[in-house]
Amino acid sequence: MNTISTESYRRKYRMASFAKLLRNALVAEAICEVDRGDAKTIDSPYGSQPAVTVQSIAGTYSPAAFTLTDDTLTVADEFIVSEHIYDFEKVLTNFDLFASRIDEQNYAVKAKIDQYVLNNLCEDGTGSYTTAADGFTKPGNINKIVADLTGKVSGYADVYKGLYIVIEQSDVTGFMQAQMANGFSFADSALKNGFFMNYGGWDLYVVQDSTFVDDTYGSKTWTNDGHRVAGVKKTSTYAAPRGVQYEEKGVTGKTGMETVTFGYIGHKVWTPKAALTIDITIG
């Protein structure tokens, strides 16, 4: 049985729907390629890097062999949430209870997918970086961290796609103090307008604390507590065949309907680009 507040039942009511719960800002679609096709498997084979010979002019050469290697994204995990809404709960409330619960379920699945993708980026990226003590929370560390990260990706063609750093909300204090202290126009703007979502050419994305975790979700196991992630956008893919789906169904012995929201997800940091995803360890 659901817990429905007394004020939810039909009396004079001040709102048309539930007040929304606190929600995470979703990040994955901004930094990854998204594939919503129906395929369970996405193949992306890659070739070995050709070696160029520099020699005195002779007009002769020796053909070299090359290697093609398979690289595959497999959709292996399902995200699902279900609730039962009794008919009297629907009929006697002042708002559309079904619509409200569908909205909350849809968001909950998307937020869990976001956490899944961010942790998998951190786990599978082969780039690595360890910050000085206190990491992003110490304003004096910020310029060096950003400059060091830039050095790790500079010179690659993919940089034009854009750069990102994903931090947790407790890290904002270091960035914001650094923004308000550095430069003139930048500092004045930060003092006037608050936190800027870009620093040193990197787009900053803020997620809630404890997004990066030591945990197992479906087929994936991560050890990311105390980590963050940065890199070049669109160098990994998450597959979401048919997106997030929704069903309603009757249940024997119960009035009302059961609501189910679900999605199938796979994520892949592509091997040739893996060094452009940087696992950041907080020092």
Find out whether 249 and 258 touch, Cβ atoms under 8 Å. yes
Share of the chain above pLDDT 90, in %: 64
Interval 214-264: pLDDT, tens:
999 999 999 999 999 999 999 999 999 888 888 889 999 999 989 898 999
pLDDT the model gives residue 180 = 83
Tell whether the model's pLDDT for residue 129 goes beyond 50: yes
Tokens found for residue 5: 């507040």
Distance from C-alpha of 162 to C-alpha of 156, rounded to nearest angstrom = 12
Interval 24-41: pLDDT, tens:
778 999 999 999 888 899
**CATH number for the 22-281 domain, one of 3.60.20.40, 3.30.2400.10, 3.30.590.10, 3.40.50.880?**
3.30.2400.10
Asked whether the CA dihedral 266, 271, 273, 276 is positive or negative, the reply is positive
Find out whether 164 and 31 touch, Cβ atoms under 8 Å. yes
Q: What average pLDDT does this structure show over 126-137?
A: 97
Tell whether the model's pLDDT for residue 21 goes beyond 70: no
Share of the chain above pLDDT 70, in %: 88
Interval 40-91: pLDDT, tens:
999 999 999 999 999 999 999 999 999 999 999 999 999 999 999 888 877 7
HSE on the CB side for 97, CA within 13 Å? 23
Distance from C-alpha of 114 to C-alpha of 163, rounded to nearest angstrom = 18
13: pLDDT confidence band, cut at 50, 70 and 90?
Answer: very low
Q: Which amino acid is at 74?
A: T
Three-state SS string across 122-163, please? HHHCCEEEECCCCHHHCHHHHHHHHHHHHHHHCCCHHHHHCE
Q: Residue ranges of the domains in the chain? A: 22-281
**φ/ψ (deg, to 5) at 18:** -60, 145
pLDDT the model gives residue 191 = 65
Distance from C-alpha of 121 to C-alpha of 194, rounded to nearest angstrom = 29
Tokens found for residue 246: 């929704």
Tokens found for residue 127: 């780039």
